Structure 1
Amino acid sequence: MTASRAHETVLSFAYPSERRARLVADALGPEIGEIDDARSAAAVSRDGGAVRVRVTADDLVALRAGINSWSRLVEVAERVGKRGGRE
């Protein structure tokens, strides 16, 4: 991820167990680098029962788009995990 981006936010998602957080983080892993573009990038990390998505961007429009995209990806990862009985 480029360190010189002008804007940054960290989205943090807490889960009841480390296992659940790991499942969500693992589901997000393949998306890293795939939806980045010239104006924004993201990184995913996990610390115990928390998953963090750091979004950086050159401008606020790109930051908002990145936040929206990653929020939806997290939501999908959570729903898929629940349907698969992984809760």
Structure 2
Amino acid sequence: MSAPHSTVLSVTFESSDRARRIERSVRPEIGAIDGDRTTATLSRDGDTVEVLVSADDLVAVRAGCNTWLTLLGTAERADDAVRDAEGL
């Protein structure tokens, strides 16, 4: 797919451990939720997680960004809940 439109979602966390947990949490979605118009790649460098969303059109880029922002937010809340339950 040639994707003339793309954007990078870059999130920096307070530690590389938290970034790794978030990255591992959302990694299974790479490829699983790509559609006909949108693809995503995921990377982590230290405490920063990046998602590159590429699409054929701007509406698809926006939809992809919304999806990945939701996934990242959910992963953060789940990580918080686990850490609270463990007393960390």
Interval of TM-score (by shorter of Structure 1 and Structure 2): over 0.9
**Among residues 3, 6, 16, which one is paired with 2:4 in the alignment?**
6
Question: 1:47-66 residue pairs with structure 2 within 5 A?
Answer: 47-66=45-64
Distance 2:56 2:37 in 1: 5
Distance 1:65 1:39 in 2: 10
Distance 1:85 1:15 in 2: 15
Number of the residue aligned with 2:69: 71
Structure with greater helix percent: 2
TM-score normalised to the size of structure 2?
0.92
User: What letter is aligned with 1:61?
Assistant: V
Structure 2: state its 5+ residue gaps: none
User: What letter is aligned with 2:6?
Assistant: E
Identity of aligned residues (%): 47
Structure 1: state its 5+ residue gaps: none
State the Cα RMSD in Å: 1.2
How many pairs were matched up? 85
TM-score normalised to the size of structure 1?
0.93
After the TM superposition, list the runs of 4 or more consecutive aligned residues in structure 1 that deviate by more than 4 angstroms: none
